[in-house]
Amino acid sequence: MERTGNAKIMDGRCIADEMCRMHMRTALELSRRGLKPRLSIVMVGEEPASKLFVRNKVRYCEKVGVDTTVIHKPSTIDLEDLLETVKSLNDDPNINGILVQLPLPKHIDPYKIFSALDPDKDVDGLTPANLGRLMHGDEVLSPCGAKAVVKILEYYGVELEGAEICIVSNSILVGKPLSMILTNRFATISICHAKTKDLSSHTSNADILISATGVPLLIKASMIRDGAVVVDVGISKIEGRIAGDVDFDEVACKASMITPVPGGVGPVTVAMVVDNLFQAMKLQGVM
């Protein structure tokens, strides 16, 4: 494990590489049985970050042997047309997984889209049914970003039971589901967000700090306790370079472990898409 400053680097790429080898073996075994995993990604509009995320997912799927189709829709699409697209994918017995890339245009209510999606094909874990399952401790199809954070922490042996964990995010993609997954492991959770007063008073008491706001360099060394574990889920661009929520060079001198951006949570999140796809196939009785 690399070090920078005083902190050990929690390398997501090596975890994703291990998952990739496992997924390749699973896909090969399915192929021997005459089965081909199939994922459909619905992308609305031409948002550059979304295009990058979709491209990374497609590349990973192709590498492990998953047949992936990207359905492009214009940003002007209306709700009914998008719902019809989702319904057609729900009804297609050859499609094992569906992923609707976020964000959607402002005139499209994501809740209505995810409410219409077949929960057993929901590889992003964002349907009300799958989020409800998570509340009951069933993590089989839960959001990929949240699962990636926990995978990294557990891979590097970070003790979660009894830990004080501060999550800077109340999103449905990361913050809220992650709080449930960590609560399932008997951690004590505080959730912060844009309206939190005196953010530092919460982050500085945490054994583990997880930030997923998309606000570049939000988290400074003064905001964490000595020896804290820091997980950076955010990704932004500053003057043409990639940056996370965490001021990496500064915080790495004070943290005990830290994830880099890029190369931390991102690669594991992409791998979790295929992990969830295989879980979905089990729910469908295919595997």
CA atoms within 13 A on the CB side of 284: 26
121 is catalytic: no
Which residue is catalytic, options 11, 118, 122, 124? 124
124 is catalytic: yes
Q: How far apart are CA 159 and CA 182, in angstroms?
A: 11
Torsion of CA 145, 162, 7, 259, to 10 degrees: 0
Three-state DSSP class for residue 166: strand
User: Residue 238 forms beta bridges with which residues?
Assistant: 241
57 is catalytic: yes
Q: How far apart are CA 254 and CA 252, in angstroms?
A: 5
Q: How far apart are CA 125 and CA 82, in angstroms?
A: 19
Which residue is catalytic, options 101, 118, 147, 247? 101
**Residues forming the active site:** 57, 101, 124
